[in-house]
């Protein structure tokens, strides 16, 4: 469409130029073309409106030359834009084109003028017009301010057409549509056009979100305290990364901003393909978070106060069954009666660990053991300054029994691999269980002997499994005062 329009314009310009040249050729040479401006003006003044034909011819002559001059400027301007694009690789700014046209007009004006009126004292006219210059300067103060600010904007190129900018105290935000010699034209997200004078823009801070830059946005949300942060972060990140206009170059970041009055406050940072569409993308992301929460059973927080009354050490009614079920599935507790498992479940204390958190630290004293209720842990020892993974324990496995049953320091680090919930069982509860089930000690000593070998696999291969478990057995009996 645009191409067709410019083609028509070109044809029209050529036609006009040919007609003008023909007319110029047909015109008889007027008196004024070889006389001075002074004489020409005097004649107009003396003859008034009743002037004769030579003067009319001179005026027509001037007009035709002016048309030719205008066409010449247009041709030069097109040439300038073409060369600019060729050299710089992008379209010449409107302001640069305007400046070029003004200069070209001025030069052509001077050429025509001195050609038509060779005797007119043009130089002195300009050098003696200082007062005129001052008056003009004062009158055009703002205009010139805008003009020069516009030139400095073009030279600095802090932003370009298509970038999103926020300008000034009023925080006008929009997409830059044009930078003219007078103003920056931006289109706001309500589709309004705002014109900001170049001179005012030059004095204000301008926030630029360049089109080719991967710009980020922040979206806030909050969950109830009962919702797990690790799960929330995972769910939101996955929900957002596939949303339309979210950049694939950078993975979104979800992090806790604050532990607020009503819930855990999060911030989501994501990067956009097209920053100009951030309103729609923010909205889409909030929608995605809502649906993801619904599927994952997460809850948005709102201003509420919940009062929990909890008796320490006593599992809540609804949890009791789950704990008994979990403990009865642990192999070493298999021989226990339902009542004994129930007693252990009552004594167990639940703890939640975030991914990467240390549950047990090697070398520290310990007087309790743990059962993995949900999640996964890794048992690690330090070997020559490097961590070596000895085992990975899933739901239903136990750890921490070595220090509990022998009184020795913890033999390894135990680290949560994901969000992990453990049940902690203390010395007193285990003593009750041992008193009622002396055989348990024996089966435990076998497990512990096996684990010890895993710990010392690189260094100590001398002790036989039987010797080792016998040693552990007597150590446990001694420590728990069992016969």
Q: List contacts with ligand CMP (CB under 6 A).
A: 360, 366, 379, 390-391, 399-403, 410-412, 414, 451, 454-455
Give which of 205, 96, 103, 90 is closest to 152, Cα–Cα.
96
Q: How far apart are CA 460 and CA 464, in angstroms?
A: 10
Q: Which of 230/358 has CB closer to ligand CMP? A: 358
Q: Which residue is nearest to ligand CMP (CB)?
A: 454
Backbone angles phi, psi at 341, to 5 degrees: -65, -40
- Measured from the CB atom, the residue of 104 and 412 that comes closer to ligand CMP is 412
Nearest approach, Cβ of 360 to ligand CMP (angstroms)? 5
The distance of Cα 40 from the centroid of its chain, to the nearest Å, equals 69
The least distance separating ligand CMP from the CB of residue 455, rounded to whole angstroms, comes to 5
Q: Which is nearer to ligand CMP, 15 or 334 (CB)?
A: 334
Compute φ and ψ for 477, nearest 5 degrees. -60, -45
Smaller CB separation from ligand CMP, 232 or 420: 420
Burial 216-241 (b: 16+ CB within 10 A, else e): bbebebbbbeebbbbebbbbbbebbe
Q: How far apart are CA 468 and CA 450, in angstroms?
A: 9
What is the closest distance, in whole angstroms, from the C-beta atom of residue 301 to ligand CMP in the complex? 37
Q: Select 298 or 332, whichever has its Cβ closest to ligand CMP.
A: 332
Instruction: Say how far apart CA 266 and CA 298 lie, in whole Å.
Output: 13
Contact 425, 449 (CB under 8 A): no
Please count the other Cβ atoms lying within 10 Å of the Cβ belonging to residue 445: 22
Give whichever of 96 and 414 is closer to ligand CMP, judged by the CB atom: 414
**Nearest approach, Cβ of 423 to ligand CMP (angstroms)?**
14
Q: What is the DSSP string of 28-82?
A: PPPTGGGS-HHHHHHHHHHHGGG--HHHHHHHHHHHHHHHHHHHHHHHHHHHHHH
Please name the residues in contact with 298: beta carbons below 8 A apart, sequence gap of 6 or more.
223, 227, 231, 232, 235, 292
Q: Measured from the CB of residue 315, what is the shortest distance to ligand CMP in angstroms?
A: 23
Q: Minimal distance in Å, beta carbon 363 to ligand CMP?
A: 10
- Report the chain's terminal Cα–Cα distance, integer Å: 101
Shortest separation between residue 448's beta carbon and ligand CMP, angstroms = 8
Nearer to ligand CMP, 315 or 400 (CB): 400
- For ligand CMP, give the closer residue by CB, 217 or 410: 410
Q: In terms of CB distance, is 231 or 378 closer to ligand CMP?
A: 378
> Least distance to ligand CMP from the beta carbon of 452, Å?
7
At its nearest, how many Å lie between ligand CMP and the CB of residue 361? 9
Distance between CA atoms of 347 and 154, rounded to whole angstroms?
75
Closest of 300, 269, 298 to residue 285, by C-alpha: 269
Q: Is 55 helix (H, G, I), strand (E, B) or coil?
A: helix
């Amino acid at each position: 469409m645009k191409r067709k329009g410019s083609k028509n314009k070109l044809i029209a310009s050529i036609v006009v130029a040919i007609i003008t040249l023909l007319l110029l050729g047909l015109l008889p040479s007027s008196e004024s073309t070889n006389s001075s401006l002074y004489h020409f003006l005097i004649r107009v003044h003396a003859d008034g409106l009743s002037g004769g034909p030579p003067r009319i011819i001179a005026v027509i002559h001037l007009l035709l030359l002016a048309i030719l001059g205008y066409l010449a400027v247009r041709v030069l301007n097109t040439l300038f834009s073409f060369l600019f694009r060729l050299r710089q690789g992008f379209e010449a700014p409107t302001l640069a084109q305007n400046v070029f046209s003004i200069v070209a007009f001025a030069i052509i004006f001077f050429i025509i003028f001195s050609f038509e009126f060779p005797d007119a004292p043009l130089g002195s006219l300009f050098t003696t017009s200082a007062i005129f210059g001052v008056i003009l300067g004062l009158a055009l103060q703002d205009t010139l301010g805008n003009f020069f600010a516009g030139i400095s904007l073009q030279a600095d190129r802090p932003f370009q057409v298509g970038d999103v900018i926020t300008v000034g105290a009023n925080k006008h935000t929009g997409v830059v549509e044009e930078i003219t010699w007078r103003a920056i034209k931006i289109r706001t997200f309500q589709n309004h056009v705002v014109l900001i004078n170049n001179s005012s823009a030059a004095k204000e801070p301008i926030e630029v979100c360049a089109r080719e830059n991967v710009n980020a946005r922040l979206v806030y949300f909050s969950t109830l305290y009962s919702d797990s942060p690790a799960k929330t972060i995972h769910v939101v990140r996955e929900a957002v990364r596939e949303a339309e206009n979210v950049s694939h170059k950078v993975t979104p970041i979800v992090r806790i901003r604050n532990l607020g009055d009503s819930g855990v406050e999060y911030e989501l940072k994501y990067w956009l393909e097209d920053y100009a569409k951030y309103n729609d993308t923010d909205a889409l992301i909030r929608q995605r978070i809502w649906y993801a929460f619904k599927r994952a059973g997460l809850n948005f927080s709102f201003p509420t106060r919940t009062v929990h009354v909890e008796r320490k050490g006593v599992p809540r009614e609804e949890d009791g069954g789950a704990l008994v079920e979990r403990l009865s599935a642990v192999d070493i507790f298999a021989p226990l009666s339902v009542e004994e498992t129930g007693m252990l479940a009552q004594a167990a204390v639940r703890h939640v660990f975030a991914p990467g958190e240390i549950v047990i630290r090697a070398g520290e004293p310990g007087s309790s053991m743990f059962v993995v209720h949900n999640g996964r842990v890794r048992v690690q020892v330090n070997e020559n300054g490097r961590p070596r993974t000895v085992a990975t324990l899933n739901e239903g496995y136990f750890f921490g029994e070595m220090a509990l049953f022998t009184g020795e320091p913890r033999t390894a680090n135990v680290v949560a691999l994901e969000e992990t919930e453990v049940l902690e069982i203390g010395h007193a509860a285990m003593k009750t269980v041992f008193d009622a089930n002396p055989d348990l000690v024996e089966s435990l000593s076998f497990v512990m002997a096996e684990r010890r070998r895993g710990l010392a696999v690189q260094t100590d291969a001398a002790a036989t499994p039987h010797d080792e478990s016998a040693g552990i057995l007597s150590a446990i009996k001694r420590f728990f005062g069992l016969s």
